[in-house]
């Protein structure tokens, strides 16, 4: 009786099990592996049959929901298999052995050893055929139409094509009946690698639109006002230096190197109708530094700001002097007798203070102050008690005592002036 041939190639191009006894043997080997402590370790992988390895790879491919094992990545081998307690990291280590060529990845080496066929991607449909048929002049005209109707969240119209961002391309053009997302993706598919993902810059450069550095400074400020999350590294250096100098003038600092962190967060610049928070955060993320001083220095070094040399006073020549005692006689009197005491109170000053204090106490008693206000004023001016001492005795804070004192004196002053 001829053997029955099961063609699994039509179902899975990477499977090589063709008859039921082999299926039974694979299931039995899988059960034995699952009963062991380390079923898929790098040493045990050497003794697993090829068809069983293919079945395990097929299980991983289904678990990560991809169409072919050749699409597996390194991190997929860290995922636990369904029905297993371990991952396929042992398989990945098997692909890292010394026989692997250095230019070949461990996953490809493992699948080549198992005889898995290369993945042939299906032909992609020409989704950009409608945009290829239009001329660059037509592309530019559509972008100008988009600029005329694009507005930001504050209702500010788009000032220039260089101010457009990806969300603006989702706006539906009335003349076209759809948005320009397809045009954006068409240029993205053609974009060379040195543009580093800046699809809009590549599109506008191809269409001959003037760059941001060629625009006037007022138009550059209008572009920054249009979009809050502007990519600051694209703004010309002289424009950024002008904004930094404006922030320096607002806080009255002598040099840009004296800037601290807080002007970037609190100084509002009318030129861009905002603050320079985005500029500071951009350099903080790219320099990976937590110290604000180092972040600002790295920013100023990037824009080639010279170091600040503080002007020092001229040195005073050293003058020799001789020591003498305050008790040394000088013309019949000592030097200490000739030197006045700055803390000494004259009789006239003492009498004037006493008279002022009596007037203040009379005003306190005759005014319509509360008992607490009178008590605080008496203790402050008659008993010379400090704010801390009064606050501790009354169970209040020092600033509350200061406020009550100021309000009571204002009431007395108003009553005296009204007379």
Task: Domain ranges for the chain, please list them.
Answer: 20-114, 129-226, 232-302, 352-418
pTM reported for the whole predicted model: 0.46
Give the Cα separation of 46 and 410 in Å (integer).
94
Alpha helices in 171-321, H assignment, sequence order: 181-190, 199-206, 217-226, 237-250, 262-266, 277-287, 292-302
Question: What Rg do the C-alpha atoms of the chain give, in angstroms?
Answer: 42
pLDDT in tens, 133-162: 888 899 999 999 999 999 888 888 999 998
Give the Cα separation of 394 and 376 in Å (integer).
10
Q: Assign a CATH topology to domain 352-418.
A: Arc Repressor Mutant, subunit A (1.10.10)
User: So what's the pLDDT on residue 144?
Assistant: 92
- Asked if 146 and 139 touch (Cβ cutoff 8 Å), the reply is no
User: So what's the pLDDT on residue 5?
Assistant: 37
SS3 content of the chain, % helix, strand, coil (to 5): 55, 0, 45
User: So what's the pLDDT on residue 88?
Assistant: 80
User: So what's the pLDDT on residue 361?
Assistant: 78
With a cut of 50, which residues of the chain have pLDDT below it?
A: 1-17, 313, 318
Give the Cα separation of 156 and 163 in Å (integer).
12
User: So what's the pLDDT on residue 253?
Assistant: 85
Give the Cα separation of 375 and 378 in Å (integer).
5
User: So what's the pLDDT on residue 149?
Assistant: 92
The residues facing 87 across adjacent strands are 80
Angle formed at CA 61 by CA 57 and CA 66, multiple of 5 degrees: 155
- Terminal CA-to-CA distance of the chain, rounded, Å? 131
User: So what's the pLDDT on residue 198?
Assistant: 85
């Amino acid at each position: 009786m001829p053997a029955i041939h099961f063609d699994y190639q039509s179902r899975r191009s990477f499977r090589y099990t063709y008859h039921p006894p082999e299926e039974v043997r694979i299931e039995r080997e899988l059960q034995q592996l699952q009963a062991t402590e380390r079923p898929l370790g790098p040493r045990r992988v050497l003794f697993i049959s090829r068809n069983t390895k293919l079945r395990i790879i097929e299980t991983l491919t289904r678990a990560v929901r991809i169409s072919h094992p050749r699409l597996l990545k390194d991190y997929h081998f860290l995922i636990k298999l369904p029905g297993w307690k371990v991952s396929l990291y042992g398989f990945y280590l098997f692909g890292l052995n010394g026989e692997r060529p250095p230019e070949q990845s461990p996953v490809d080496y493992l699948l080549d050893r198992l005889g898995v066929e290369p993945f042939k991607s299906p032909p992609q449909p020409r989704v950009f055929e409608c945009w290829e048929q239009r001329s660059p002049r037509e592309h530019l005209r559509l972008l100008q139409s988009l600029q005329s109707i694009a507005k930001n969240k504050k209702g500010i119209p788009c000032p220039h094509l260089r101010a457009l961002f990806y969300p603006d391309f989702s706006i539906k053009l009335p003349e076209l009946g759809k948005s320009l997302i397809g045009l954006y993706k068409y240029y993205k598919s053609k974009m060379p690698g040195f543009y580093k993902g800046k699809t809009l810059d590549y599109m506008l450069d191809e269409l001959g639109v003037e760059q941001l550095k060629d625009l006037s400074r007022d138009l550059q400020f209008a572009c920054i006002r249009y979009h809050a999350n502007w990519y600051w590294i694209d703004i010309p250096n002289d424009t950024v230096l002008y904004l930094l100098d404006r922030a320096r003038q607002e806080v009255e600092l002598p040099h840009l190197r004296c800037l601290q962190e807080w002007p970037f967060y609190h100084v509002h610049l009318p030129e861009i109708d905002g603050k320079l928070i985005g500029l500071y955060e951009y350099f903080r993320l790219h320099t990976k530094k937590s110290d604000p001083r180092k972040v600002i220095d790295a920013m100023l070094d990037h824009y080639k700001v010279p170091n600040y040399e503080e002007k020092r006073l001229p040195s005073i020549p050293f003058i020799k002097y001789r020591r003498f005692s305050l008790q040394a006689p000088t013309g019949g009197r000592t030097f200490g007798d000739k030197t006045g005491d700055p803390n000494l109170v004259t009789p006239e000053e003492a009498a004037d203070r006493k008279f002022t204090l009596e007037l203040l106490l009379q005003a306190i008693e005759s005014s319509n102050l509360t008992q607490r206000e009178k008590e605080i004023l008496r203790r402050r001016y008659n008993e010379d008690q400090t704010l801390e001492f009064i606050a501790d005795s009354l169970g209040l804070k020092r600033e509350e005592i200061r406020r009550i004192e100021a309000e009571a004196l204002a009431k007395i002053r108003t009553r005296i002036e009204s007379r």
